[in-house]
């Protein structure tokens, strides 16, 4: 399997599992946790709400000093009257005022509420006893009569218990309420009309809130910070005068219970251990709306494209320049994805970090695996190359050793005192011959190396092939004569564009082999034909022939057939490899046909482009 195929197959696999990465529960949880983390890392914004919201808490101190919960409405009323005297803008009551208590206390609270310019009261949807029907719990009419609006106080945490979003509107069969925070926001702007609804959002007065109908008017709460970010005042401190009424001037006051074991608490992206009190969450909702700090997740298509882009980038890295960039891209991605997501979040876009990381890691693994395989193959090739090289060195060393031994022995002999002049001359000739052989071996070896490395460039020129072949025949004539082998030739005239030396080498090698591997007294036939497409040279002998299984291998470097390996004829097994290399470099091909015991036929085809 090739590396590219592996990358392709892997890429496809990752593409198929992309949707699973996008909608898998565990990854979704990862996305949510990453969102929390990035939100915590974001610097706190200069929130308008932080200056304009004050939390009025029925806290532990209030409860311990003014009686248990529910706190006497007369006490609450007293506190509120003091707050009202400071001229706040809006009072938001995050306490359900649906039950009657003492008449005087209820009347006092109604009186207190009347002193605020705008009051937003809480309503809640609660299931009836049988659990089947839901109905709204709303404040008593005397409280409602002065309310600017009623708002629902429902918050549905995600599956991990963290409240990240809010449904801006909630309905039962009969009626529907906007969220308490949204109504408070409307009260701040004194927008008398209820929100106007569009498919992508709603408008409150002159302000537009992006919350699509298709998404149940869901709003991501852009929390300002952990509990305690908004100014909080204990009701007790108002009652005993520690907090002056003037500190509520022009403010949005949110009244609610924070005493331990009472009032709603939810985990938020900022919560550690203890959840956040309901009033602080309302403050965060108002803050999101006031600042227009809306957060919106990537849509499914954008998310898919984003993951696709990551996979494509990794695949390119795995592919490009033999995967050299794969490791840096794999490492950079793991850092870059959260960093990009952080900046996107700051721009109000929630990017699924875990999905992106999962897609990146999956794609990187496939890429790294494919590249590892590729590197392993390369290593394998290198090892093979080394083995081949070692083998060649051995062969060359062997080839060199024979003439060297002869030279060594002869040179020793020549220096002996009682040796005749004639003998000396004979030895000198032998040394000369063996040295020539030695140089031949080295030259051939170097030529093979250079040709196969592509270093030796062909010096092409127009040559008459028949003349070249005739020259080779003449050179081989001496060898043939020794073995009484007849060489017949039938040569057409054909001009080719070729490197004469290289081609001479090739033709001579074919001829020399034919002579070398043929018995005494046999004959060799050389034919040169000029066809329409190619020039074709055929050397036919009546030699020992080559077994079918060995016919392909004889063109491999240093391959010698079994019968010749054991020194029947000397040779190095590089000649044919060189011939093939030369023919191939000329754009041609070489073929062999042979019958063991009967003879062989080597055909060289040179294409028209090389032939003129």
Among all chains, which residue has been given the structure tokens 């050389």?
526
Residue 132 or 567 with smaller CB distance to ligand ADP: 567
507 is a site residue for ligand ADP (CB under 6 A)? no
Shortest approach of ligand ADP to residue 447 CB, angstroms? Answer: 13
Residue 327 or 527 with smaller CB distance to ligand ADP: 527
Chosen residue from 88, 367, 403, 571 binding ligand ADP by CB under 6 A? 571
Chosen residue from 253, 337, 507, 514 binding ligand ADP by CB under 6 A? 514
Residue 63 or 524 with smaller CB distance to ligand ADP: 524
Handedness of CA 284, 286, 290, 296 (dihedral sign): positive
Residue 177: partners with Cβ closer than 8 Å, 6 or more residues away: 123, 136, 150, 151, 152, 169, 170, 171
Residue 531: partners with Cβ closer than 8 Å, 6 or more residues away: none
542 is a site residue for ligand ADP (CB under 6 A)? no
Residue 430 or 564 with smaller CB distance to ligand ADP: 564
Task: Classify 529 in phi/psi space as left (phi over 0), alpha (psi -120 to 50) or beta.
Answer: beta
> Would strands 486-491 and 523-530 be described as parallel, antiparallel, or unpaired?
parallel
Shortest approach of ligand ADP to residue 367 CB, angstroms? Answer: 43
572 is a site residue for ligand ADP (CB under 6 A)? yes
392 is a site residue for ligand ADP (CB under 6 A)? no
600 is a site residue for ligand ADP (CB under 6 A)? yes
Residue 32 or 577 with smaller CB distance to ligand ADP: 577
Query: Can you tell me the distance from the alpha carbon of 223 to that of 227, in angstroms, rounded to the nearest whole number?
Result: 10
Shortest approach of ligand ADP to residue 604 CB, angstroms? Answer: 13
Say if residue 47 is exposed, middle or buried (CB neighbours under 10 Å; 0-12, 13-18, 19+): buried
Our measurement of the distance from residue 544's CA atom to the centroid of its chain's CA atoms, rounded to an integer in Å, reads: 60
Among all chains, which residue has been given the structure tokens 């909608």?
23
513 is a site residue for ligand ADP (CB under 6 A)? yes
With CA atoms as reference, report the closest residue to 204 among 192, 219, 221, 220. 192
Query: Can you tell me the distance from the alpha carbon of 90 to that of 255, in angstroms, rounded to the nearest whole number?
Result: 11
Residue 229 or 572 with smaller CB distance to ligand ADP: 572
Shortest approach of ligand ADP to residue 510 CB, angstroms? Answer: 8
Q: Are 551 and 513 in contact (CB under 8 A)?
A: no
Q: Which stretch binds ligand ADP (CB under 6 A): 55-63, 260-268, 387-395, 560-568?
A: 560-568
Residue 278 or 403 with smaller CB distance to ligand ADP: 403
541 is a site residue for ligand ADP (CB under 6 A)? yes
Shortest approach of ligand ADP to residue 433 CB, angstroms? Answer: 18
561 is a site residue for ligand ADP (CB under 6 A)? yes
Helix axis angle, 500-516 relative to 575-585, nearest 10°? 140
543 is a site residue for ligand ADP (CB under 6 A)? yes
Determine the size of the site formed for ligand ADP (CB under 6 A): 21
Please measure the distance between the N-terminal and C-terminal CA atoms of the chain and give it in whole angstroms: 42
Residue 317: partners with Cβ closer than 8 Å, 6 or more residues away: 323, 325, 326, 328, 329, 330, 367
Our measurement of the distance from residue 14's CA atom to the centroid of its chain's CA atoms, rounded to an integer in Å, reads: 10
560 is a site residue for ligand ADP (CB under 6 A)? yes
Shortest approach of ligand ADP to residue 312 CB, angstroms? Answer: 50
106 is a site residue for ligand ADP (CB under 6 A)? no
360 is a site residue for ligand ADP (CB under 6 A)? no
Chosen residue from 201, 323, 573, 588 binding ligand ADP by CB under 6 A? 573
Shortest approach of ligand ADP to residue 585 CB, angstroms? Answer: 17
Shortest approach of ligand ADP to residue 548 CB, angstroms? Answer: 13
SS3 for 87? coil
Query: Can you tell me the distance from the alpha carbon of 266 to that of 347, in angstroms, rounded to the nearest whole number?
Result: 26
What tokens does 406 get?
């002869």
444 is a site residue for ligand ADP (CB under 6 A)? no
546 is a site residue for ligand ADP (CB under 6 A)? yes
Chosen residue from 181, 195, 575, 588 binding ligand ADP by CB under 6 A? 575
CA distances 96 to 106, 257, 309, Å, are 13, 11, 50
526 is a site residue for ligand ADP (CB under 6 A)? no
Residue ranges in contact with ligand ADP by CB under 6 A: 509, 513-514, 517, 541, 543-544, 546, 554, 559-561, 564, 571-577, 600
């Amino acid at each position: 399997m090739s590396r590219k195929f592996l990358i392709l197959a892997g890429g496809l696999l990752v593409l198929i599992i992309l949707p699973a990465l996008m909608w898998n529960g565990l990854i979704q949880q990862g996305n949510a946790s990453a969102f929390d983390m990035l939100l915590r890392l974001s610097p706190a914004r200069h929130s308008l709400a932080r200056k304009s919201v004050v939390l009025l808490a029925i806290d532990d101190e209030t409860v311990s000093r003014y009686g248990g919960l529910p706190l006497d409405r007369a006490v609450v009323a007293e506190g509120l009257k003091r707050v009202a005297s400071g001229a706040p803008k809006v009072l938001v009551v995050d306490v359900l005022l649906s039950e009657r208590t003492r008449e005087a206390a209820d009347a006092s609270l109604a009186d207190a509420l009347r002193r605020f310019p705008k009051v937003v009261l809480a309503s809640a949807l609660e299931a009836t006893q049988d659990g089947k029907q839901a109905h709204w719990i709303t404040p008593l009419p005397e409280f409602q009569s002065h309310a600017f609006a009623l708002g629902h106080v429902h918050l549905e945490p995600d599956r991990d218990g963290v409240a990240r979003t809010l449904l801006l509107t909630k309905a039962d069969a009969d009626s529907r309420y906007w969220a308490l925070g949204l109504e408070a926001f409307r009260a701040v702007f004194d927008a008398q009309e209820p929100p106007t609804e569009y498919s992508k959002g709603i408008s409150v007065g002159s302000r537009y809130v992006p919350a699509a109908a298709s998404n149940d008017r869901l709003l991501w709460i852009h929390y300002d910070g952990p509990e305690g970010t908004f100014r909080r005042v204990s009701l007790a401190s108002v009652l005993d005068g520690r907090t002056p009424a003037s500190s509520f001037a022009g403010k949005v006051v949110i009244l609610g219970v924070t005493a331990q074991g009472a009032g709603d608490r939810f985990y938020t992206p900022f919560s550690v251990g203890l959840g956040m009190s309901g009033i602080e969450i309302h403050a965060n909702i108002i803050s999101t709306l006031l600042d227009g700090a809306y957060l919106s997740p990537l849509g499914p298509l954008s998310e898919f494209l984003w993951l696709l882009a990551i996979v494509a980038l990794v695949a390119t890295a795995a592919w490009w320049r033999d995967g050299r960039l794969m490791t840096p891209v794999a490492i950079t991605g793991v850092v870059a994805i959260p960093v990009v997501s952080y900046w996107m979040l700051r721009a109000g876009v929630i990017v699924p970090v875990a999905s992106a990381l999962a897609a990146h890691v999956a794609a990187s693994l496939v890429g790294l695996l494919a590249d590892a395989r590729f590197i392993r193959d390369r290593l394998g090739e290198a090892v093979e190359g080394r083995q081949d090289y070692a083998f060649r060195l051995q062969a060359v060393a062997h080839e060199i050793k024979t003439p060297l031994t002869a030279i060594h022995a002869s040179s020793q002999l020549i220096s002996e005192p009682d040796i005749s002049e004639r003998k000396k001359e004979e030895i000198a000739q032998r040394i000369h011959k063996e040295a020539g052989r030695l140089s031949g071996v080295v030259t051939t070896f170097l030529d093979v190396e250079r040709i196969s490395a592509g270093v030796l460039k062909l010096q092409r020129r127009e040559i008459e092939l028949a003349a070249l072949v005739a020259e080779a025949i003449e050179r081989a004539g001496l060898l043939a004569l020794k073995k009484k082998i007849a060489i017949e030739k039938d040569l057409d005239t054909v001009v080719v564009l070729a490197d004469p030396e290289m081609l001479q080498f090739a033709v001579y090698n074919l001829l020399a082999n034919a002579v070398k591997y043929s018995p005494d007294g046999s004959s060799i036939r050389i034919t040169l034909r000029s066809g329409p497409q190619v020039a074709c040279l055929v050397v036919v002998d009546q030699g020992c022939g080559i077994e079918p299984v060995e016919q392909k291998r004889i063109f491999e470097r240093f391959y010698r057939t079994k019968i010749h390996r054991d020194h029947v004829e000397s040779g190095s097994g590089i000649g044919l490899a060189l011939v093939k290399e030369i023919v191939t470099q000329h754009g041609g091909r070489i073929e062999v046909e042979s019958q063991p015991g009967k003879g062989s036929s080597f055909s060289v085809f040179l294409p028209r482009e090389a032939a003129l």
